[in-house]
Amino acid sequence: MKIIQITLRHLKMRMKFPFVTSFGAMQDKEFLVVEAMDQNGRIGWGESVAFDTPWYTEETVKTNWHMLEDFMIPAILHTKLHHPDEVGQHLAYIRKNNMAKSAIEGAVWDLFAKEKRVSLAKLLGGNKEKIEVGISIGLQQSMDELLQLIQSKLNEGYKRIKIKIKPGYDIQLIQEIRKHFPTIPLMADANSAYSLEDIHLIKELDQYNLMMIEQPLSVDDLIDHAKLQKEISTPICLDESIHTYTDARTAIKLNACKIINIKIGRVGGLSEAKKIHDLCMENGLAVWCGGMLEAGIGRAHNIALTALSNFTLPGDTAGSSHYWEQDIIQPEVIVENGYIAVPTAAGIGYEPNRKTMEQFTIREKIFT
Ligand code: OSB
Ligand code: MG
C-alpha cells in the first residue's frame, strides 16, 4: 500500500460543557484530522488528541501540525507500507511527539483495514461485539450539580463514574458521593495533583471502596507511585506516566500501579497500544481505554482498540451526544445501557461527515 495524498485539517468544536480538571477548564476543543488516500482512492482517517495548550502532555495542536507537515507526512507519503506497524518504524527517528505519530498511524490502520475488508477491531485482534463504557465527570460548581450529573449518567446506563479530584476537592467529595451512591463503581482521577506529602489524604480516600485512583502523583514519579501503592489497597491506575511499552514495563516491574489507562495518542498509536495491552495481560494487569474528549474519528479508534480482550474495565469512551451537539461521523457513537456496539463494517466503521467537518475546519492543507 502507498499513500498518495494526505489532507490535514485543523478543527475547532465547542463542547456542550466546560471540562474542568486540576489544571483548569476547556470547552472549545481544537484538534487535527488526518485524511490519507491510497493509490486506489480509498480513504483512511486519523485524529490527533493533542489539545490547544500543553497541560496534559507537552504536545499541542500547533506542534502536531508542525511535526506532521514538516516531518511525518513527508516520511509516509509515497512510502511502500506492508503493515501499519511500519509507520512507527518510519517515524522512529523522530523523538516523542506521540500524538502526532498516532494521528497519521491511525489513518493508515483505518486504510489497511479497509483494504483487507475487515473492521479495525478485528484487524487489531479484538473479538468483542460490544464494549462497556463509563463516564468521566469534570470538577463541578457545586456538590448538588455533581450529584445530579452522576444520577443522570447512571440513568443513561454508564457502567462506572469517574470524577476529577484535587487537594481540597477530594475527601468530602467522595464522602458525599458515597453517602448518596454507596455501591456504584466509582473512581477518582487526580491528573497528578498530589505528591507523597499528601499521602494522608490518599490514605483517607482508600476507605471509600474506589475501583482505582488514577494518576495521583507526578508524571515522572514512578518510584513514588510504587511507594504509595504499597500503602493503600485501592489500585493505582497510571495515565500520564505511560508513554511507551518501556514505561509500562518499568511501572509493572516497580509495582507502581495495578491498572493502566491506555490512550492511543499518548502512547504513539495503535501498534504501541496493542503491545502495552499484551504486556499487561501477560502480567495480570487490567487495562481500560482512556479518553481525550475526542470527536468521532478518535472515538472510533478507541472503540476498536477496546474490543481487545484485556480491556476488562469500562473505558472513558462515552457517546457522541455527551460531548457534541453534532459529531463529525455518521452514525454517531451511541451508548445503550452502558454498552457501545463494536462496528463490523470495514475500517473504523463510522463515516466522517464532510459537510460537518467543513463547518468546523479553520485550516486545511493538502499534501501530494
Ligand atoms: O485524565 O483521563 C484524563 C480528558 C482530557 C484529558 C485528560 C483526561 C480526560 C478525561 C476525560 O478524563 C475523558 C473523556 O471523556 O474523553
Ligand atoms: Mg486521567
- Structural domains present in the chain: 3-117+352-367 (3.30.390.10), 122-350 (3.20.20.120)
Nearest ligand 1 atom, CA 26 = 5
Q: Could you give the residue numbers annotated as active site?
A: 164, 263
- List beta partners, residue 363: 10
- Residue 297 and residue 109: Cα distance in Å, rounded? 12
56 lines ligand 1 (CB under 6 A): yes
Give the number of C-alpha atoms closer than 13 A to the C-alpha of residue 269, restricted to the C-beta side.
23
Grid cell 462496528 is found at: 343
73 lines ligand 1 (CB under 6 A): no
Grid cell 489544571 is found at: 23
pLDDT score at 24: 85
216 lines ligand 1 (CB under 6 A): no
Nearest ligand 1 atom, CA 240 = 1
191 lines ligand 1 (CB under 6 A): yes
Give the Å distances, CA to CA, from 296 to 45, 215, 299, 334.
Answer: 10, 26, 5, 11
The secondary structure of residue 133, as a DSSP letter, is B
H or E element at residue 191: none
pLDDT score at 52: 96
Nearest ligand 1 atom, CA 293 = 16
216 CA distance to ligand 2 middle (Å): 9
Residue partners of 48: CB distance under 8 A and separation at least 6: 31, 32, 33, 34, 61, 64, 68, 99, 100, 102, 103, 265, 298
DSSP-derived secondary structure for 321-363: HHH-SS-SEESPP--BTTEEEPP-SSBTSSEE-HHHHHHHEEE
290 lines ligand 1 (CB under 6 A): yes
Buried/exposed code over 33-71 (b: 16+ C-beta within 10 A; e: otherwise):
bbbbbbeeebbbbbbbbbbeeeebbebbbebbbebbeeb
pLDDT score at 21: 86
CB 145 within 8 A of CB 328: no
239 lines ligand 1 (CB under 6 A): yes
- List beta partners, residue 212: none
Annotated binding site for Mg(2+): 189, 214, 239
Give the Å distances, CA to CA, from 68 to 47, 166, 312, 343.
Answer: 12, 35, 33, 29
- Out of 217, 218, 292, 340, mutate this one to test ligand 1's pocket (max ligand atoms within 8 Å of CB): namely 292
Q: Which ligand is nearest to the CA of 23?
A: 1
Give the Å distances, CA to CA, from 234 to 24, 58, 136, 179, 196.
Answer: 26, 29, 18, 19, 16
Q: What is the edge-to-edge ordering of all strands in the sheet holding 286-289?
A: 135-137, 161-164, 186-189, 213-214, 236-238, 259-262, 286-289
- Of 206, 143, 207, whose CA–CA distance to 180 is shortest? 143
51 lines ligand 1 (CB under 6 A): no
Cis preceding-peptide flag for 235 (omega within 30 of 0): no
CA dihedral 290→212→19→101, nearest 10 degrees, is -30
21 CA distance to ligand 2 middle (Å): 10
Backbone angles phi, psi at 29, to 5 degrees: -95, 115
Extract the residue ranges of the chain whose pLDDT is less than 70.
none
Annotated binding site: 189, 214, 239
191 CA distance to ligand 2 middle (Å): 6
- Residue 295 and residue 32: Cα distance in Å, rounded? 10
The pLDDT tens digits of the residues spanning 280-327 come to 999 999 999 999 999 999 999 999 999 999 999 999 999 999 999 999
pLDDT score at 22: 79
- Residue 239 and residue 246: Cα distance in Å, rounded? 14
- What global pTM score does this model have? 0.97
Nearest ligand 1 atom, CA 322 = 15
- Out of 19, 162, 333, mutate this one to test ligand 1's pocket (max ligand atoms within 8 Å of CB): namely 19
- Of 166, 163, 204, 194, whose CA–CA distance to 181 is shortest? 163
Q: What is the edge-to-edge ordering of all strands in the sheet holding 24-38?
A: 43-48, 24-38, 3-21, 361-367
- Residue 283 and residue 38: Cα distance in Å, rounded? 38
